[in-house]
Structure 1
């Protein structure tokens, strides 16, 4: 690589600018509101560099796809794997079960380079909590890795044809991608933000610049441009960092400013006599930070997430200092003892097969491990067409079926612990975002609904107990016909039905983010929310009978003043988000549920 494409310190300096912008923004968005566009700078740089390297090697006749992917593996993979392992270990110690489950799924999708798709598809049912998503930053790595899969092949194919066709092809792809970004952003901003087709234009812009520069001679006009354009680019980048806001309008047309700014800065980095910008970017301190940029990016977000999650009550400035004090040494150690040695070892020609084998083996471990962590810590039917989850199949002391939506799944792990303790078989049919109750009319076909699947599972198992937990305030109709129909159809199939009332919903000021910003207990449920919840819980309590047991959770989640407890006595969070209990919160229900399950139906 060094022979075909000379090293340019100013490129590392530009990397330093990008990573510093991202770090400052993530330390506190108000300090540099548009700092997140540092990722866009990285996109342009990546497109520029890989295009320059591929074209240079192609001209020298020594390019191969195998060598290209070997370099990508050596560059990205070792440090990522170490970071992923350390992150999962820390998450196991710090996070609640639900957040650990989410982190496991993030590990699997990040390792498979599709976490951007997971984040795009993740709805608002569970509000995204950045401090509980330590792999969130890997979305940009996934976009780049997806780009690497097709771009080198396309580039080489076009290089073999003609320069004109190559430039036209790249320009056409870039414009199509940009157009899709502009169209999709106002319609579905998360899609435009996370998808490769709406982000590829940024990498292609860097590639197009590399191709144009490689075919241009250095004349007086270009020398003048190399001195003027970089300063204009710096102005655009500074304006982007300060003025762009993280909102629904991004990326859209706003992403043009950091992209164009980066392109203009690059124009002065590959000239024999660069101007002031090149000299500034080539300063030793910036170059050193730029070399650390990948490791800094990898490690900063997990560290920031864990500090924010664990130290809610610590003031903002000490938290920022602690984050920096942990991240910088980790990044330096990662760069010196993992990144550099691994690149040197894995880039050797004899190491190509080993690099590929190590990648495949690690993916074969990371993906199943991440999914297993998810499934172990959050019992939830993710695809109702695939049926139920069953545990302790051979146990004969009793049997339980858990039905519900996400409010049912939040009790899943606790219910399994109880089933293990009592020797019961447990079947879980709760599904996040699902509707576990039948439609109001018995004549309406259910098709493949959660209710029809749940009813089939109960009919097949003939359990001793059926537990139903639900977001009742959102699922019950005013006359209670849906619940009545569910109870009528379940009674002949089980000995006893256990209904869990709905716990209180935290107010907006009772989130982890709000607490970090100064909100403090006591927290009280909002009036409208509480009134609706009390009505539906009263409806549940009125249905108690010899075959229907209702467990009232009201006293478990209110103190003597009527406030909602946020922590338990050991400092564990009782709520996963505003409306769902954490695994520690679910444990408060355990003794009441255990008592109910021990009673002979």
Structure 2
């Protein structure tokens, strides 16, 4: 390698082409048009941003003309106008498309985005009962927040390390290199232990931006021969292509998986800094450069359009609609780039710094005001008909965590406290994940009718089977279930009801871990199905050995969309609601294996409760509503009203239990 004496910040069309390579996979991935790993385009953007911003700041510091105010003036001109337009339009459109709770969520996310904290908002909203990400119109702004937070920290670090009169980058390289290593190690660790924080928050993402920063400080002072540059450039494209085409939603990310796209981007930036390589010349082709120029606006527009198309579709969005949204995104991005980005970036619109900062504060205040109005009015429910509001309210129900003394908050151990009002507590325990928790209204109804109380041990996303591990997503699941079983033994429980979304633990889902044998090693190739089959049988056997009569409830029908939302939107759009639910054939096919395992447990002291007949309709679909009320609070959890409809199928169990424990005279 040789030293390049005068690093240049002259325009490089290949970087715009690289932006195209970043945004197109993201766009097509989100539209469901291929590129299963297209989400790595965001990581490409991170490296590019770190490279360019660091190059600019370092150059200004060396020339002793760096100003934080000037830096943020440029950032405001570059980032805020287009983002403000898209957020404003998204809020306005939401008033016509979204249900009240969705509109409230949009208002909250708009406020967070305006305050450069969208990543914190969506991280906080990424829990088990959080709204589905694919229906959040501003979800994609998390990456903008990460960059903006990085922009606050990076200039301070560079000024501290380089000083105003120093030209050497050595100290800055050491400082940023140390942070890079720490961030990278944290990213690897947190991707495995706390994947949501790793995905959304800066500490696990900083190393990606710092990849570009370190390249700007160290790499631009060196160059390679033409042949080696060609090889490095080809490797860079190959690494990006590998990630884009090989990764999918199941790839743990970022962590180590983010290395190929980030390293590939760095290699392309490095190998094309002096003389373009073959890959660099391809990236500099006018069509790619044009998409690169509009990439920021294209990234901003594409996601709200796709989300609103999903909302309006009620069921699956057609291929034609998704392609149309891509085309409309490009059109809107082009217009935004020409009439918003370019005028504001230059000085034709905002002529001086005072105007820039005034624009920023006024725009921020206006968007925050809009967001606060949406939130304070509860999403303007009066926009909807009374029937649509009734359906929509099912999604706003609080989970029945402690509506009776028998239902308790989750804890490390199951705290299942008996009632203290004189009502007898039967030796009966409902052992479940969240699907038993939502049955609390039904159990309360039956307990009131029979003047008894029962225990409920419930923990979200924890399958009620012994010796099953749910790591790495959930720690101590096996120990929790051990504690429940110990409670059963110590309190001489004689009846146990097992309730769960059983299938979720043998397939890939965002909120459930695949079950494994407790203590299983990486070499253990037992499938989740094998574990479910063996541990359902062993759990039932151990309960029977403890003298327990067992009742196992099969899974209620679940749906691809949230029923309460589908129902409300169908009313809004005057569409038929009779065929919105899953078909009977579809559900039975999906549940065939699970139901066969459950049915195999049946015996004189092991009873099977099947909720499906309650939901079946003559048109071969499962019902989503009855008497104008939604039966669901989301795609698989019953609403309070829906749970009470199961009372008749649990009535025989209650009568039998009450009869068994009736005092004998």
Determine if contact 2:397/2:633 at 8 Å carries over to the other structure: no
Question: 308-317 vs 246-255, which deviates more?
Answer: 308-317
Q: In structure 1, what is the Cα distance between the partners aligned to 2:388 and 2:560?
A: 24
State the partner residue of 1:306. Answer: 308
State the partner residue of 2:76. Answer: 73
Give the deviation of 1:124 after TM superposition.
3.8
Q: In structure 2, what is the Cα distance between the partners aligned to 1:115 and 1:483?
A: 50
Give the deviation of 1:24 after TM superposition.
1.2
Determine whether 1:437 maps to 2:403: yes
Determine if contact 2:401/2:407 at 8 Å carries over to the other structure: no
Which of 246, 262, 266 is residue 263 of structure 1 equivalent to?
Answer: 266
State the partner residue of 1:358. Answer: 359
Determine if contact 1:185/1:193 at 8 Å carries over to the other structure: yes
Which of 118, 121, 129 is residue 132 of structure 2 equivalent to?
Answer: 129
State the partner residue of 2:25. Answer: 21
> Structure 1 residues 158 and 261, CA, compared in 2 at 3 Å: closer, same or farther?
same
Give the deviation of 1:438 after TM superposition.
5.0
> Structure 1 residues 270 and 248, CA, compared in 2 at 3 Å: closer, same or farther?
closer
What is the aligned residue count? 465
Q: In structure 1, what is the Cα distance between the partners aligned to 2:204 and 2:64?
A: 33
Determine if contact 1:34/1:246 at 8 Å carries over to the other structure: yes
Q: In structure 1, what is the Cα distance between the partners aligned to 2:15 and 2:260?
A: 19
Which of 199, 207, 216 is residue 201 of structure 1 equivalent to?
Answer: 207
Q: In structure 1, what is the Cα distance between the partners aligned to 2:314 and 2:389?
A: 25
Determine if contact 1:125/1:433 at 8 Å carries over to the other structure: no
State the partner residue of 2:430. Answer: none
> Structure 1 residues 125 and 315, CA, compared in 2 at 3 Å: closer, same or farther?
closer
1:389-428 matches, within 5 Å, as: none
Determine whether 1:369 maps to 2:370: yes
Determine if contact 1:180/1:197 at 8 Å carries over to the other structure: yes
Question: 303-312 vs 76-85, which deviates more?
Answer: 303-312
Which of 610, 632, 635 is residue 578 of structure 1 equivalent to?
Answer: 635
Which of 55, 58, 66 is residue 55 of structure 1 equivalent to?
Answer: 58
Determine whether 1:323 maps to 2:313: no
Give the deviation of 1:363 after TM superposition.
2.0
State the partner residue of 1:344. Answer: 346
- SS across alignment from 2:403: coil
Q: TM-score, normalised by structure 2?
A: 0.62
Determine if contact 1:379/1:412 at 8 Å carries over to the other structure: no
Structure 2 residue runs without a partner (length 5+):
1-6, 409-435, 454-554, 567-578, 596-613, 643-665
State the partner residue of 1:147. Answer: 150
> Structure 1 residues 563 and 277, CA, compared in 2 at 3 Å: closer, same or farther?
closer
1:192-341 matches, within 5 Å, as: 192-216=198-222, 218=223, 221-247=224-250, 249-271=252-274, 273-313=275-315, 316-341=318-343
- SS across alignment from 1:345: coil
> Structure 1 residues 52 and 475, CA, compared in 2 at 3 Å: closer, same or farther?
farther
State the partner residue of 1:507. Answer: 557
> Structure 1 residues 224 and 62, CA, compared in 2 at 3 Å: closer, same or farther?
farther
1:439-588 matches, within 5 Å, as: 439-440=405-406, 472-474=438-440, 480=447, 507-511=557-561, 521=581, 523=583, 564-565=622-623, 577-578=634-635
Determine if contact 2:100/2:392 at 8 Å carries over to the other structure: no
Determine if contact 2:403/2:440 at 8 Å carries over to the other structure: no
State the partner residue of 1:175. Answer: 181
Q: CA RMSD in A?
A: 4.3
State the partner residue of 1:595. Answer: none
Question: After superposition, what is the alpha-carbon deviation per residue over 1:93-136, rounded to whole angstroms, capped at 9, x for unaligned?
Answer: 11111211111111111111111112112244435424420101
Q: In structure 2, what is the Cα distance between the partners aligned to 1:416 and 1:224?
A: 63
Q: TM-score, normalised by structure 1?
A: 0.68
Question: After superposition, what is the alpha-carbon deviation per residue over 1:330-372, rounded to whole angstroms, capped at 9, x for unaligned?
Answer: 1111111111111113896x52122112222222232343243
Give the deviation of 1:27 after TM superposition.
1.3
Question: After superposition, what is the alpha-carbon deviation per residue over 1:480-508, rounded to whole angstroms, capped at 9, x for unaligned?
Answer: 4899899xxxxxxxxxxxxxxxxxx9733
Q: In structure 1, what is the Cα distance between the partners aligned to 2:292 and 2:626?
A: 44
Which of 159, 163, 175 is residue 156 of structure 1 equivalent to?
Answer: 159
Determine if contact 1:378/1:413 at 8 Å carries over to the other structure: no
State the partner residue of 1:12. Answer: 16
Q: In structure 2, what is the Cα distance between the partners aligned to 1:278 and 1:435?
A: 58
State the partner residue of 1:404. Answer: none
- SS across alignment from 2:181: helix
